[in-house]
Amino acid sequence: MNKIFVQDLLGWLDQQLKPALFQDYAPNGLQVQGKPEIKKVITGVTASAQLLQIAADKGADAVLVHHGWFWKGENPCVVGSKYQRMELAIRHGLNIIGYHLPLDAHPEWGNNAQLARVLGLIPDRADDGSGQPVVFGRGGLIWSGAVPGGLRTLADLGAHIETALGRSPLLIGNNERPLRRIAWCTGGAQGMFEEAIARGVDVYLTGEASEQVYHQAMESGVAYIGAGHHATERYGVQALGQAVAARFGVDVEFVDLPNPV
Ligand SMILES: [Zn+2]
């Protein structure tokens, strides 16, 4: 297995994911400095204390995640679970590397692209020959496309999602409603339902739900699916990890720590 400098990995990740293009809620890239060289990377959805302990036990030098630390509005003091996580990272020399919105949006490795792959959704593509996905909404984070052939109704799509993600989704709307057009945004994008409704789709899929989405679904006739924040965001960081392994020849291992939310 290869050994690489952290700076080389970070330079490449920034080049691929272009964090400067995003107005994000947390810093992207290196969040906590660790060992200067990397042989083994652990990837995961969230840089929780449990993930860091597993990374340390496996002898990793870096943890690459979708949900890192230092979110806007959180208590900045290094106390409680923030202290516990930082102490673990620093004691074991773990580099903590996080990419949030850039890893939702990436056209190939992003969470939206990878969820489409896992569920068989057929993304709309630009007709300019670039093959780029058609995106809309705040920050261009919502994708649209076609429901996989053979799935006619909300009930059909719900059953398909349950099989593909291993988790029963929340379905809001008429179960027998025929579906053709779908919009999706992984994670906690319940606040973008209105933009999806305005786009004229039959169903909107995201990870979480809030109370008001029930009424929005009932009043608009557009179905709503809450398929799990964690469950919809497991795939981007895995694809990115595979790309890192292919590019640098370092050992990359994904650790899934299931989360019911
Ligand atoms: Zn998320």
Q: Does 66 appear as a known binding residue?
A: yes
| Interval between CA 66 and ligand 1 midpoint (Å) | 7
* Confidence at residue 185, expressed as pLDDT on a 0 to 100 scale: 98
Ligand 1 centroid to Cα of residue 128, in Å, is 31
Q: How far is the CA of 186 from the centre of ligand 1 (A)?
A: 7
Is 67 annotated as ligand-binding?
A: yes
Could you tell me the pLDDT band of residue 1, with boundaries at 50, 70 and 90? confident
Q: How far is the CA of 215 from the centre of ligand 1 (A)?
A: 24
SS3 string of the chain? CCCEEHHHHHHHHHHHHCHHHCCCCCCCEEEECCCCEECEEEEEEECCHHHHHHHHHCCCCEEEEEECCCCCCCCCCCCHHHHHHHHHHHHCCCEEEECCHHHHHCCCCCHHHHHHHHHCCEECECCCCCCCECEECHHHCEEEEECCCCCCEHHHHHHHHHHHHCCCCEEECCCCCECCEEEECCCCCHHHHHHHHHCCCCEEEECCCCHHHHHHHHHHCCEEEECCHHHHCCCHHHHHHHHHHHHHCCEEEECCCCCCC
pLDDT digit string (tens) for 33-72?
Answer: 999 999 999 999 999 999 999 999 999 999 999 999 999 9
- CATH class belonging to 4-100+235-254: alpha beta
Q: Give residue 138 CA to ligand 1 midpoint distance, Å.
A: 15
pLDDT of residue 214: 98
CA distance 183 to 196: 6
215 is in an annotated binding site: no
| Distance between Cα 68 and ligand 1 center (Å) | 10
| Ligand 1 mean position, distance from CA 73 (Å) | 16
| Overall fold of domain 111-230 | 3.40.1390
Separation of 67 CA from ligand 1 center, angstroms? Answer: 6
- Is 156 annotated in a binding site? The answer is no
Which strands form 95-98's sheet, in the order they lie side by side? Answer: 29-32, 95-98, 62-67, 40-46, 251-254
| 232 band by pLDDT with thresholds 50, 70 and 90 | very high
CA of 133 to the centre of ligand 1 (A): 20
Spatial separation of the C-alpha atoms in residues 87 and 253, rounded to whole Å: 22
Domain locations in the chain as residue ranges: 4-100+235-254, 111-230
Cα 54 to ligand 1 centre (Å): 21
Is 4-100+235-254's fold the same as 111-230's?
yes
What is the CA(34)–ligand 1 centre distance, in A? 24
Query: pLDDT (tens digit, 9 = 90+) per residue, 121-176?
Result: 999 999 998 989 999 998 899 999 999 999 999 999 999 999 999 999 999 999 99
